[in-house]
Amino acid sequence: MIRIGKLRASPIFFAVIGFFAIVDGSRFMLYTLLSAMLHELGHLAALRLCGAPVEEVVLRPFGINIVMGGGRMIGYRQEIAVALAGPLCSAVLAAAPYLWCVLVRPFEDALFLSAINAALTLLNLLPIGDLDGGRALRYALLLTLSPDTAEGAFDLVTLLLLVPLSVGAVWLLITTRYNFSLVLVCAYLLARLVRRRSGSPAAL
């Protein structure tokens, strides 16, 4: 791990960023990174609103892990709110360019900005693994079930949804020969699930 102040980054994070920069060094790559950063800032803002001090932010290939300071914990309902704050932020960012074009005047790249933020919203709302929807589902299950039952149900839902999503991602890659990012996301989520079920530290 590489550390700068409260920020820590997995080497795989830099590898993924470098890969996408090489494949697509256009301004659209910059828009995508900026949209992802604002999405994550939505989580941070929600966490601060819950009164939780942030000790460390860990950058991972497809998201961040926020470590709260002083062993501070927040409730499951607050965890759900924090998880959904990112997609909410992305949804607002998806609507903003469209509304600007309608109410003010059209501008170049508005469609891409709306599309990438809409994609971030929809992808992250999927109730799978470490995605925001998955985190929200996990804490919702923990609200109503015993920890062991909740974790088992969560992993089962993740697997049942991740398999067809992965198949669809591979099919899309073969068909378009371009949409490889979804394949990488699915591979990452699958690796995280395997490590989680095996009891290994989730260092990815």
pLDDT (0 to 100) of residue 168: 94
Give the span between the Cα atoms of 112 and 108, in whole angstroms: 9
pLDDT (0 to 100) of residue 204: 56
The radius of gyration of the chain's CA atoms, rounded to the nearest angstrom, is 18
Give the range with max mean pLDDT: 4-18, 28-42, 46-60.
Answer: 28-42
Give the strands of the sheet with 7-9, arranged side by side: 2-4, 7-9, 54-60, 63-68
Give the span between the Cα atoms of 12 and 2, in whole angstroms: 11
Domain edges within the chain: 126-195
Task: Check: CB of residue 54 under 8 Å from CB of residue 68.
Answer: yes
pLDDT (0 to 100) of residue 200: 61
Give the span between the Cα atoms of 16 and 36, in whole angstroms: 14
* Nearest Cα to Cα of residue 63 among 5, 147, 129: 129
pLDDT (0 to 100) of residue 164: 95
pTM above 0.85, yes or no: no
pLDDT (0 to 100) of residue 201: 55
Give the span between the Cα atoms of 134 and 147, in whole angstroms: 16
Q: What is the pLDDT of residues 98-151, one digit of tens each?
A: 999 989 888 888 999 999 999 999 999 999 998 999 999 999 999 999 999 999
- Which residues lie across from 57 on neighbouring strands? 7, 66
- 13 confidence band (pLDDT: 50, 70, 90): confident
